[in-house]
Amino acid sequence: MKKTHYFIAVPLTDGVKKELATWSRSIASQFPFRTWVHQEDYHLTLAFLGDASSEKRKAVCEAMKAIGKQHAPFSLELERIGVFGNPQAPRILWKGVKREEGLFALQQDVYEACKQIGFMLDDRPFAPHITVARKWQGETNFSLEEIRYVDRVQGHFAVDQIVLYQTHLDRVPKYETIATFPLIDEKGEEK
């Protein structure tokens, strides 16, 4: 039986997804990455869970519902472009967001709840990013300076929910929404 993976993430608005996808298509031939992320798969990961039994998924859903009630909606602003891996042949091209304390507080609560449920999570510091492309395949070295020069994607987006996603490696888009959990303001009203 093939294992599947799950993760908790902040979804992007349709407008931001469209803007990122339009920009990606416009530069794809100039910057040859093996894979450009599908528009519907853009997200900002809070916790990668890996494989999860139905019992653990049920526990995650209960925990995320409770966490959603403890966090008010907030806004994120897109920021610089960056890479992970070798700067001359990066593994990941990503778009960042400006630091927002609400995001870091939300991620910390999600991370801790998932650890308490029993997930083995990555212990690297949280580096919020939206993966745009994977695996540089250019004949010359990648240039972060060159791609920053053509980075025109800007904007804000509201964060009013978190999502439990399931990964399907055999299809595109490959992330399926399993459950959504609204963030609720101080008055207890859903946005």
The residue ranges of every structural domain in the chain are 6-79+95-130+153-182
Which tens digits make up the pLDDT trace of 53-94?
899 999 999 999 999 999 999 999 999 999 999 999 999 999
Q: What is the pLDDT of residue 155?
A: 87
Cα–Cα nearest to 158, from 86, 100, 87, 92: 100
CATH topology of domain 6-79+95-130+153-182: Cyclic Phosphodiesterase; Chain: A, (3.90.1140)
pLDDT of residue 191: 45
Say whether 43 is catalytic: yes
Neighbours of 168 (CB within 10 A): 14
Catalytic-labelled residue, pool 38, 129, 156, 168: 129
Q: Is the Cα dihedral 155, 183, 133, 83 positive or negative?
A: positive
Across 6-45, b (16+ Cβ under 10 Å) vs e yields bbbbbbbbeebbebbbebbeebeeebebeebbebbbbbbb
Q: Which pLDDT does position 152 carry in this prediction?
A: 83
How confident is the prediction for the chain on average, in pLDDT?
Answer: 92
pLDDT digits (tens, 9 = 90+) for 120-152: 998 899 999 999 999 999 999 999 999 999 888
Rounded mean pLDDT, 140-168: 93
Catalytic residue (one of 43, 71, 156, 168): 43
pTM summary value = 0.91
Q: Given this model, what pLDDT does residue 1 score? A: 47
Does residue 168 have an active-site annotation?
no
**Residues near 27 by Cβ (< 8 Å), separated by ≥ 6?**
147, 150
